[in-house]
Amino acid sequence: MTATAASYAAVDWGTSSFRLWLIGKDGTPLGERRSGEGMTTAAQEGFSAVLERHLAALDAPADLPVMICGMAGARQGWMDAGYMDVPARLEEIVGRAVVVPHSSRDIRILPGLAQRIEAAPDVMRGEETQLLGAYDEIGAGSHLLCMPGTHSKWVRLRDGAVEGFSTFMTGELFDVIGKQSILRHALDGSEAFDGTHPAFIQAVKTACVSPARFSNLIFSARSGQLLHGLDATSAKARLSGLLIGLEIAGARDTAPDAVQVQLVASGAMAALYEAALSAALLGVTVIDADLAVRRGLQAAARAVWP
CATH code, domain with 86: 3.30.420.300
CA–CA gap between residue 88 and residue 85 (Å, rounded):
6
Q: According to the model, what pLDDT value does residue 204 have?
A: 98
Backbone angles phi, psi at 214, to 5 degrees: -50, -50
- Residue 59 has a pLDDT of 96
150 in the same domain as 96: no
**Which domain, by its residues, includes 22?**
1-116
How far is Cα 171 from Cα 194, in angstroms, rounded to an integer?
Answer: 15
pLDDT band at residue 285 using 50, 70 and 90 as cut-offs: very high
Q: Tell me: do 142 and 82 sit in the same domain.
A: no
pTM exceeds 0.75, yes or no: yes
Give the integer Cα–Cα distance in Å for 47 and 177.
Answer: 32
pLDDT tens digit sequence for 239-283: 999 999 999 999 999 999 899 999 999 999 999 999 999 999 999
Domain count, the chain: 2
* pLDDT at residue 1, as a whole number: 47
Domain final position from 116, 136, 160: 116
Whether residues 283 and 139 share a domain: the answer is yes
A 10 A CB-CB count for 252 gives 18
Any domain includes 149: yes
**What digits encode the pLDDT tens for the residues 132-172?**
999 988 988 999 999 999 999 999 999 999 999 999 999 99
